[in-house]
Amino acid sequence: MNPITAIKIMLWILLAVILFHLSIILKIVPYELTWGGRLKNDSEMYVFEIISILINLFLCVILFIKGKYIRAFLSMKIVNIILWVFLILFGLNSVGNLLAETNFEKFFTLVTFISALLIWIILRKDRKGTHSNGFNKYGF
């Protein structure tokens, strides 16, 4: 799979995740099923969900920059560092979801693992000999 296809799939996944978080805010999905059952009231849920949506929107912007859908206001090196951080977070989150108590949360292991895999594809060395940081093997 090429990186542009991975970016497009990742953006669709992020749209679905954002819609999921909005459904929690709208109380279509009970927040007791999410966040490992740690949320105790609506106030906590709103804070967690809004932060989650903002983080997912931030990742969307980073992917739009990486895919050159919008003009870069960050260097590609910073974009790649941010993507590596998300790769690590998705990997750790996959482990956390595997250890979750509810099957509902365990299902998200698949989503976070696929997200980690897609980010890996986006970051890996491309076929032209240019690394994902925009430099060739000689640093140019």
Q: Lowest-confidence range among 10-14, 104-108, 113-117, 125-129?
A: 125-129
Q: Which residues contact 76 (CB under 8 A, 6 or more apart)?
A: 65, 66, 133, 134
State the total domains in the chain. 1
In a domain, 132, yes or no: no
Indicate the pLDDT class of residue 132, thresholds 50, 70 and 90: low
In a domain, 128, yes or no: no
Q: Which domain holds residue 54?
A: 3-123
Q: Which residues contact 4 (CB under 8 A, 6 or more apart)?
A: 67
What is residue 138's predicted lDDT score, i.e. its pLDDT?
43
In a domain, 129, yes or no: no
Structure tokens at 135: 């430099």
In a domain, 131, yes or no: no
In a domain, 82, yes or no: yes
Q: What is the pTM of this model?
A: 0.81
Indicate the pLDDT class of residue 133, thresholds 50, 70 and 90: low
In a domain, 134, yes or no: no
In a domain, 83, yes or no: yes
Handedness of CA 95, 98, 99, 103 (dihedral sign): positive
In a domain, 33, yes or no: yes
